[in-house]
Chains A and B, each alone.
Chain A
Amino acid sequence: MFCLSVIKDTMAMHPSNFGAPVEDALIAEINKKYANRVLHDVGLCICVFDLSQAGEGKVRYGDGFLWYKVVFRMVVFRPFVSEVIIAKVKSSDEDGIRLSVNFFDDLYIPAAYLPQPTAFDPNERAHFWIPDSELTTTSELLDTLVSDRMYIDQGEVVRVRVESDEFCDDEPGPPKVTEGVQMKREPKRPPYVVCCSIAEQGLGPVAWWNGASQVVDGDEMDEG
């Protein structure tokens, strides 16, 4: 899930921080710039791991800042392809399921990566899976007994496999307001999206597999 990235940057330090130890001040400065930020093709930065190199602070003409060239290691969230992670279901819609790991919630399971046969129940706002079923079409699946369905509810803990990840770096572009008329803005794409799958034995809600049969029976009782 997490890895270390080596990054080089030039940091400016405000004179108000000169009182603190240089190392701490630099780390604080780097954290301010990078923490909770997605770097293109790197991942989501968590915090500084350590400093590898730091040059002398230099003063430039025109401001009172000290400029440091720093090489540091950053803790980055970037699950590798085929890694298994545990996440919580944040929401579901017709296209798939959105997952969350608290600090990052652009993890998606597209409908194609759900166990087959599966369908979306608009009343429950959740996908369900019917194990060992011959049915294929959505309407047929929605006619089944509720007690046969295995729902993937909101807030459920699921085990997923990472299939791919994608970064997108949208240019802000020129302002789209012309003469006081607000143009319709396109929905912003998230900068980092992880695509996951549960279409495999052992994946999906953790409760399905842990202590297999009893838990499943219990679920069915609840719903029936």
Chain B
Amino acid sequence: MEVINPRAALLSNYEVLSLLQELESDHLLRTKTALRVKKEEEASATAVASNPTVNTHLEASENLRTIEVEAISYLTADYLPTRSQTEEGIAGLVKNLAPFSLTKAEKLQVVNLSPTLPVELYVIVEELEDRLGEQIDEILEHVQTSLVAPATLTAKEAKPNGITAQASTDVSTAIVEEGQWDEDADAIYDEEIYDDTGAGIGVEGDLEMEDD
């Protein structure tokens, strides 16, 4: 094993969450088909005929499942804004933040934590008053507009059999969108890269210095 670059790029929480949710729905889909195939084989009772050594079903490892489930539970927790974020919202927010002289790391944290109160922004941005002064409210407004009301999400979960219902809808949407999904994931990623080189060239150097 060789580590070529320990920190090639930074990822926002939203990107990680959507990647993990994709994995999760993929896994559910696979388990379902595997179960169905098994049942069919049992029903026809000619299972011996099929070649048991050829395995097209890849088992997800225990480690992956553990961290996937735990990370999703953290990222969708109600104390994080991640689940009320959308791809368009974040792209718009990053665009809106461009005119302010924020560093790359600060922008990432604004996206991850979505501060809606001045006190939250004070923690993220160093010397906020000196640097941004009256623009604080403007930034908070941009953040607020980038979030969708989590009401739709909570309503979904409030259903009596919320978990199963949600899981199955996730799976079905995953099937429909699977074709587009890769492109979408890349699009977010590329856009971030693009924004970084556009607005924070000097800053990028700062971040990499830490690694040395």
Binding site for B on A (CB under 8 A): 1-9, 15-20, 24-25, 28, 31-32, 35-37, 39, 41-43, 46-47, 49, 71, 73, 75-76, 78, 80-84, 86, 101-103, 157, 159, 161, 200-203, 206, 209-210, 212
Contacts and interface: CB of A to CB of B under 8 A. Distances in A.
Given A1-B112, A20-B56, A31-B61, A86 B79 contact: yes
Contacts of B113: 84, 86
A159 B23 CA distance: 29
Contact of A210 (B4, B64, B74, B117): B117
Contacts of B109: 83-84
Nearest to A42: B6
A35 B124 CA distance: 30
25 contacts: A3-B11, A5-B8, A20-B56, A28-B60, A28-B61, A35-B64, A37-B63, A46-B20, A46-B71, A47-B68, A49-B19, A75-B19, A78-B6, A80-B207, A83-B105, A84-B113, A84-B124, A86-B79, A86-B113, A101-B74, A102-B77, A159-B120, A159-B123, A161-B123, A202-B123
B123 A8 contact: no
B149 interface: no
B19 A102 contact: no
A81 to B, nearest CB: 7
Contact of B123 (A25, A46, A81, A200): A200
Nearest to B80: A86
A83 B10 CA distance: 12
Interface in B7-59: 7-13, 15-16, 19-20, 23, 53-59
Given A31-B60, A31-B64, A84-B113, A3 B9 contact: yes
A80 B105 CA distance: 9
B73 interface: yes
Given A17-B55, A47-B20, A84-B109, A5 B7 contact: yes
B61 A5 contact: no
B173 interface: no
B5 to A, nearest CB: 4
A9 B53 CA distance: 27
Contacts of B5: 5-6
A32 B79 CA distance: 31
A17 B6 CA distance: 29
B16 A2 contact: yes
B11 A4 contact: yes
B149 to A, nearest CB: 18
Given A36-B67, A101-B74, A3 B3 contact: no
Contacts of A37: 63
Contacts of B4: 6-8, 71
Contacts of B60: 28, 31
Nearest to B65: A35
Contacts of B119: 201-202, 209-210, 212
B100 interface: no
Contacts of A43: 6
Contacts of B7: 3-5, 78
B134 interface: no
B117 A19 contact: no
A46 B13 CA distance: 12
A185 B56 CA distance: 44
A85 to B, nearest CB: 8
